[in-house]
Structure 1
Amino acid sequence: MTRTQKTLFVLVAAVALVLGLTVNKVLNSKGDGTDKVALLDAGIVLLPQSRSLPDLSLTNQDGQAQAVDQLKGQWSLLFFGYTFCPDICPATLAQLRQLKGMLPAETQAQLRVVLVTVDPQRDNPEQLKKYLGFFDPAFMGLTGAQEDLQKLAGAVSIPYIPADTSKENYTVDHSGNLVIIGPDGTQRGFIRAPLNNDKLAAQLPGLLGVK
């Protein structure tokens, strides 16, 4: 096993541990567990306490500065991926486009999908905008300095390993989980991969407070 593979194994294990501990806390917290079980069955893991995002400024697909701790006013689903990804990213974005179409209009209006790149070397704002336009022009893209992107990923427990950009056609190892950000700009939880759109479509309207 190479050093990179060992590092990836540790990161994956750490993410699994965080999610496992969170699920345990949710199931053992006081209150009616019916909704909690339904949410978990849909892959939605809510944190026992909300988590603030780091004070960082990234750049969106329109080239405008975006403070990550100011993703407010809507619920947001953050997906850490990249536009040159051969498999998981296009599949996930296609699922999110489909999921959005399955939700009531009121719920759609409360939801923002954000692709946070793990490949800032290639994913400039223009590339992000072009790529996201293939799925849904309303999807937001964020890029920035590698250290800032890693800081954000670590803060929301979705770490990744920066690629060796000296190699041609390099790929980046990353998670398929989504991060749930509330309308107050804090992290509320995760959605575990692989996505189950039918179950998510049934649970998200209630979670977002829209009937």
Structure 2
Amino acid sequence: MSYQSKGRTLILSIVGVLLALSIGLWAGNHLTIGQDQATALREAGIITLPTSRELPALQLASTDGATVNSQALTGKWSLVFFGYTFCPDICPTTLAELRQLKKLLPEDAQHNLQILMVSVDPHRDSTEQLQLYLEYFDPEFIGLTGELADIQTLSNALSIPFIPGDTSQPRYTVDHSGNLAILSPDGRQYGFIRAPLDVKEIAQQLPKLIAP
């Protein structure tokens, strides 16, 4: 990765952290959780929004062969990660951590949670490519891809921006964050988990949030 690319990645990370921290200042007022629980969640890197956000209506292709409307991601809690299969560092690390996190969760929390990776590199990431990649980490992880403009719309709506790669270069990279978006079972954004992930702390606190 070039010096310039590293700098852009650092800027994205700083922006994401500052955004998450600023949202965290409001999180204590969230109506559905108490102050003590909100504090414990924040210490684990879990930031809840004062008011949940509706997702934009977008059509994305899923690794399970279906076309998914982003507003139809309902029924379970979801952790949404933006990454790509050619990523040299953030993606394999984050997916390995998510695999570890899933194993640490109680069985009922596992059944009530799905993990989604939205490709920030649709130029190279077909659903087949995503499926092969994600199966290495966990066959139940779901990959989503689609038009670049739609993916950017979704990432911006979730406040997890990325900088598209220069597809004219043979080994281009994509600058993106390791933050995760939390979607509640009604398909709205409930909050964030900020990177780097503290897997053990998240495993302690997340079940309290996503209990059926």
Q: Does the TM-score normalized on the shorter chain lie above 0.5?
A: yes
Instruction: Give the Cα–Cα distance (whole angstroms) in 1 for the partners of residues 92 and 155 of structure 2.
Output: 20
- Mark the CA change 1:116 to 1:29 in structure 2 (over 3 Å): closer, same or farther: closer
Following superposition of structure 1 onto structure 2, how do residues 1-211 of structure 1 map, counting pairs within 5 Å? 11-12=12-13, 14-27=15-28, 32-210=34-212
Instruction: Give the Cα–Cα distance (whole angstroms) in 1 for the partners of residues 76 and 30 of structure 2.
Output: 27
- Mark the CA change 1:50 to 1:202 in structure 2 (over 3 Å): closer, same or farther: same
Deviation of residue 71 (structure 1)?
0.4
Q: Could you tell me which runs of 5 or more consecutive residues in structure 1 were left unpaired when the two chains were aligned.
A: none
Instruction: Give the Cα–Cα distance (whole angstroms) in 1 for the partners of residues 190 and 154 of structure 2.
Output: 15
**SS class of match (1:50):** strand
Instruction: Give the Cα–Cα distance (whole angstroms) in 1 for the partners of residues 64 and 121 of structure 2.
Output: 17
Spell out, residue by residue over 1:153-182, the C-alpha distance to the aligned partner (whole angstroms, 9 max, x if none).
Answer: 000000111100111111100000000000
- Mark the CA change 1:39 to 1:163 in structure 2 (over 3 Å): closer, same or farther: same
Deviation of residue 33 (structure 1)?
1.9
- Mark the CA change 1:122 to 1:34 in structure 2 (over 3 Å): closer, same or farther: same
- Mark the CA change 1:41 to 1:146 in structure 2 (over 3 Å): closer, same or farther: same
Instruction: Give the Cα–Cα distance (whole angstroms) in 1 for the partners of residues 184 and 109 of structure 2.
Output: 13
Instruction: Give the Cα–Cα distance (whole angstroms) in 1 for the partners of residues 34 and 128 of structure 2.
Output: 47
Instruction: Give the Cα–Cα distance (whole angstroms) in 1 for the partners of residues 197 and 6 of structure 2.
Output: 25
- Higher mean alpha-carbon deviation, 119-128 vs 18-27, is at 18-27
Q: Any conservation in 1 of the 2:28–2:34 contact (CA below 8 Å)?
A: no
Instruction: Give the Cα–Cα distance (whole angstroms) in 2 for the partners of residues 92 and 204 of structure 1.
Output: 17
Identity, % of aligned pairs? 50
The count of corresponding residues between Structure 1 and Structure 2 is 209
**SS class of match (2:134):** helix
Amino acid across the alignment from 2:146: G
Deviation of residue 21 (structure 1)?
2.0
Instruction: Give the Cα–Cα distance (whole angstroms) in 2 for the partners of residues 32 and 103 of structure 1.
Output: 22
**SS class of match (2:88):** coil
Spell out, residue by residue over 1:122-174, the C-alpha distance to the aligned partner (whole angstroms, 9 max, x if none).
Answer: 10000001001101110000000000000000000001111001111111000
**SS class of match (1:58):** strand
Instruction: Give the Cα–Cα distance (whole angstroms) in 1 for the partners of residues 187 and 11 of structure 2.
Output: 29
Deviation of residue 6 (structure 1)?
8.1
